[in-house]
Structure 1
Amino acid sequence: MNHYFPAMHSTFSSEALQDFVNTHYDVGSVVGCRLLTRGLNDTYRVDTERGRFVLRVYRTPWRSRTEVDYELDVLTYLNDCNIPVSAPVKNCAGTFTTEIAALEGTRLMTLFTYAKGSIPRLDPEISAEYGRTVAKIHQATDNFSSHYRRFNLDFQHLLYEPLERIRPTMTQYGGDVTYIESWIKTITAHVSIELLDFGFCHGDFHDWNTHLDEGILTVFDFDCCGKGFRAYDLAVFLWNLKTNYKGKETENWSSFLEGYREVRPLSEADLNAIPFFVAARRIWLAWIYLTNEDVWGTAIVNERFFQSFVDQLQEDERELGIPLTGLS
């Protein structure tokens, strides 16, 4: 009997996965398989005689079976609604997922259609198309329901759960946790959740999770999706602009909103909530880094990590121009 040393996050052999797809999928003979990214999940590019696909190996215990099934459920729904997405492909057994025994436990595997094109560099015209695309997703999923359970993108998921992990680690590195707590109090005090549009959200909607090909924007990586505040879904795009498009965020954001409103109305309450959800995004993202050491390791978590985290929130505070709740 073989005894293997326990693993946190194993990496599957591309050659073995090539044989696996050949055996378990009717997509033509596989001519190549290579690892694209190793992250919260592992993603491989699969080339066959019939075309290109993407194989995702979900990390355990990052996503449960029912959470994965929810994601695949909504992707199938959107694909049926003719929304351009990277859609799941059924295996020869007629299911979207296959369970694989890995060193760290059972991992789920799913094959997806490949999003044609490449990641675009944002400009006002392309940002408007992003606005229209996310509006179409929101519009299409207004009546979507699934019997699979999944977390909501609410204050519990975006703020309170992250705070429980941020508090001890930030304290360890001498950070001022009361500043983060004041931000959370400010967000919850100023965002009237009863007035907000609540429904399906992509959860990570920015240019790195799309490909543009001949004017068609195809969306992928719904790993952070769930029902939540639509204002948060829009705030993720603004967060990306503020992070990666310094000096160009204003014109791109204006075009994005125009594109969104071409398809779907945006209430004043949702619009006013967006800057607060940008800060919520930063808090959630810090939590993601702190809770996934098998992806990024622990070397990135240090005084500079928390100083950068605070610097970004202070920039948000200056732009809002309001005092934080409970901060003297």
Structure 2
Amino acid sequence: MQIEIAQSTPTAASIAMLVERHYNLGKVVESEFLRRSFNQVYRLSFASGQRVVARLCAERPRGGPNVLFEAAALEHLAQHGCPVSRCLSAAGGEVAIHVALPEGHRELMLFEYLDGEFTGDSIDDIGAFARGLAGLHIAGQSYDGPDSTYRLDLDYLLLRPLEGLLRAATMTAELRPHFEVLGRRLHDDILAMGKLSRVLCHGDAHGGNNFIVGTARGKREAVFFDFDESGPGYLAYELAIYPWNLHPRTPEGQLSDKAKGQWRHFISAYREVRPVADVDLVAIARFMAVRQLWLLGEYAGRVPVWGSQAMPTDYLRRQVTMLGNWETLELPL
């Protein structure tokens, strides 16, 4: 009998051996497994003193990793002055190497190691984060490298995740039509807004995928990493991720006065660097719901790895109430 493996977790030492074999970076003297989420992430230190981050990419509900686009987009952004963690090529020039594992081949990518602290609550940190994100969007306008495998449109962000959610083991016949109606109404509401702006999205810019560092001039600057979700898509979705992260994701949750102030400062700092059309501003609140449904679809797709109780039925029931409340959600400006 052959046992099927949903997703294995290689040790940090085994990842170090692979990197020594396939990259011209010398001997690894220290390795550490940092975290397991959608991907598995490791830190490696070399005898030269150089440090890198290794990411073992996982298969997702959308499909495989977007490695060629991600590496090219990072290089483009870096060349245009955006502080990002670039991809490091293997000895043969590949942006990723294939790793044979019990569940099949997965791709391993290496990135520049960054030091710093995540975006804090201070005005300086939030402003640096927002201005940095605006800078990414400006630089991304001239990107002409390999096409992205994925486009962050309503099919990718809403319809396909909703299909996966509706098939989840913990979904019930009672809840399914509620999610279907909420998703269809959200889709139609956004289409009715008319033409919305598109940018090269980071795709997961919630303040925890960048560090805030001090510059030589004493200013605060955002340095971005983890572009696994990047691709061309809606500006309103990209800007919705930060307030989505601030908002309590519970049925009774309300944006606190502190969070309202953080959001106001974020969008004001962004608009100092890059204008945002009124239609895109209005759409941000609806895209917060899109973001939540996208995440629910991602969780549904990870059930073989995380288990069905990562998304229990009572949690889904609360999500129906919350998403219903979010249909009238407005963000202060």
Whether these two folds match at TM > 0.5 is yes
Partner deviation per Cα, 1:80-122 (whole Å, 9 max, x = no partner)? 1121111101122122211111111111111100122122322
Shift of residue 194 of structure 1? Answer: 4.5
Partner SS, residue 208 of structure 1: coil
1:213-292 aligned within 5 A: 213-214=213-214, 215-243=220-248, 246-292=256-302
The gaps in structure 2 that reach 5 residues or longer are 215-219, 250-254
Q: Which amino acid aligns with 1:106?
A: H
CA distance in 2, matches of 1:63, 1:10: 20
Who is 2:160 aligned against?
A: 161
Distance 1:119 1:51 in 2: 22
- Alpha-carbon contact 1:40-1:62 (below 8 Å) kept: no
CA contact (8 A) 1:166 1:290 kept: yes
Structure 2 vs 1, CA of residues 179 and 61 (structure 1 numbering), >3 Å: closer, same or farther?
closer
Summarize the Cα distance change of 1:283–1:143 in structure 2 as closer, same or farther, 3 Å threshold: same
Larger displacement relative to structure 2 (148-157 or 306-315): 306-315
Q: Equivalent residue for 1:325?
A: none
User: Deviation string for 1:200-233 (max 9, x for gaps)?
Assistant: 1111101221112222311111111111111100
**Could you tell me whether the CA contact under 8 Å between 1:192 and 1:269 is conserved in 2?**
no
Structure 1 pair 61–140 and aligned structure 2 pair: CA distance change class (3 A): same
Residues in 2 aligned to 1:283 and 1:36: alpha-carbon distance in whole angstroms: 27
**Between Structure 1 and Structure 2, which shows a larger proportion of helix residues?**
1
Q: CA deviation at 1:4?
A: 6.4
Q: Which residue of 1 aligns with 2:140?
A: 141
- What's the C-alpha RMSD, in Å, of the aligned pairs? 2.4
- The amino acid across from 1:36 in the alignment is L
- 1:23: how far off? 2.8
- The question of whether the paired residues in 2 share the 8 Å contact of 1:39 and 1:295 is answered with no
Counterpart residue number, 1:299: 309
Cα-to-partner distance string for 1:132-183 (whole Å, 9 max, x where unaligned): 1111111001121333441111111122112222234465263253355235
Q: Does 1:210 align with 2:210?
A: yes
Conservation of the 8 A alpha-carbon contact between 1:10 and 1:102: yes
Cα displacement (A) at 1:278: 0.6
Q: Give 1:138's aligned amino acid.
A: H
The CA deviation at 1:29 is 2.9
The one-letter code sitting in structure 2 at the alignment partner of 1:154 is D
Q: Tell which deviates more after alignment, 266-275 or 290-299.
A: 290-299
- How much has 1:254 moved relative to structure 2? 0.8
| TM, length-normalised to structure 2 | 0.87
The answer on 1:104 being equivalent to 2:114 is: no
Give the 3 Å change call, closer, same or farther, for CA 222–148 of structure 1 in structure 2: same
Shift of 1:21: 2.0
Could you say which residue in structure 2 is the equivalent of 1:93? 92
Q: 1:218 to 1:141 in 2, by over 3 A?
A: same
Which has the larger displacement, 291-300 or 240-249? 240-249
Contact 1:66 1:149 in 2 (8 A): no
**What is the one-letter code of the residue matched to 2:17?**
D
- The alpha carbon displacement at 1:310 in A equals 2.2
Cα distance between partner residues in 1 of 2:58 and 2:258: 36
Task: Find the counterpart in structure 1 of residue 322 from structure 2.
Answer: 312
CA distance in 2, matches of 1:178, 1:5: 37
TM-score in terms of structure 1 length: 0.89
In structure 2, C-alpha distance between the alignment counterparts of 1:92 and 1:172, rounded to whole Å = 50
Alpha-carbon offset, residue 192 of structure 1: 4.7
Amino acid at match of 2:300: L
- Quote the Cα distance in structure 2 between the aligned partners of 1:83 and 1:243: 31
Give me the whole-angstrom Cα distance separating, in 1, the residues matched to 2:295 and 2:166. Answer: 14
Indicate whether 1:13 and 2:14 are aligned: no
- 3-state SS of 1:299 partner: helix
Moved more, 245-254 or 58-67: 58-67
Give unpaired runs (5+ residues) of structure 1. 322-328
Aligned twin of 1:326: none
